[in-house]
Amino acid sequence: MKKNTLLTALFLLAVSGLMLHFRIHNFMVADKLNLGSFIFDRSKFMATLFPLIDAVLVTALFMSRKTAVYGYLLNGLIVIYGTIFMAHFSIAEITTKSIPFPSLLLKSTLPDVGIAWVDFLVGKALYDLYMKG
Amino acid sequence: MLKYFMRYKPGWWILHITAISLTFYLGHMMTFTF
């Protein structure tokens, strides 16, 4: 069934995003002043929270035809937030680390933004399928 | 004036005001440290 395939793809993309954010920049950051202790980073926590909402709530909303429209809306909102914050993150990193501007293409989060939009498009395909059938 | 507000249901307004507020709040609280 097409629906289950798309729903699985949507869930796997969200879970993979969650795991990557959790591993690459965990919200518990090592405190440089007090060795062995950790500080809670709100911005990095958001990077974990949004994929978590994407994996749990968006998948749950997309399970039923009635709530699919809200899932589509929330999925779109999360992807737009992801695009803006990942772009902001890259621009901030490039400025602080003085990375040459042309390397923005490969060393930035541009490929990750692309993956986030795949998540949106899978959601769109699923929503269109619900509305058609 | 009211007829322009009544064009959309209260839920529509609540949803949009919440989304816009959340966007502004996130923009305000995001700080990136390297």
- Output the tens digit of pLDDT for each of chain B's 34 residues: 888 888 999 999 999 999 999 999 999 999 988 7
β-pair type (A28-30, A38-40): antiparallel
Q: Rounded mean pLDDT of A110-131?
A: 96
pLDDT, residue A83, reads 96
pLDDT, residue B34, reads 78
pLDDT at A60 over 80: yes
Residue A96 has its nearest CB partner, among B19, B31, B34, at: B34
Residue in A27, A81, A97 to test binding to B, most B beta-carbons within 10 Å: A81
Q: Rounded mean pLDDT of A106-123?
A: 94
CA distance B2 to chain A (A): 27
Q: Does B31 touch chain A (CB under 8 A)?
A: yes
pTM: 0.90
A77/B32 Cβ within 8 A: no
Q: Rounded mean pLDDT of A69-90?
A: 95
Q: Rounded mean pLDDT of A23-50?
A: 92
pLDDT at A46 over 80: yes
Residue A88 has its nearest CB partner, among B23, B29, B30, at: B30
- At A55, list the tokens: 């994996």
Q: A30 - beta bridge partners?
A: A38
pLDDT, residue A129, reads 95
Cβ atoms A99, A122 nearer than 8 A: no
Q: Rounded mean pLDDT of A82-100?
A: 91
Q: Count CA within 13 A, CB hemisphere, residue A40.
A: 3
pLDDT, residue A72, reads 96
A96/B29 Cβ within 8 A: no
Q: Rounded mean pLDDT of A37-48?
A: 93
Cβ atoms A17, A52 nearer than 8 A: no
User: Hey, how many other C-beta atoms are within 10 angstroms of the C-beta on A130?
Assistant: 19
Cβ-Cβ contacts under 8 Å between A and B: the total is 24
The mean predicted confidence, pLDDT, of chain A is 93
pLDDT at A17 over 90: yes
Residue of chain A minimizing CA distance to B34 = A93
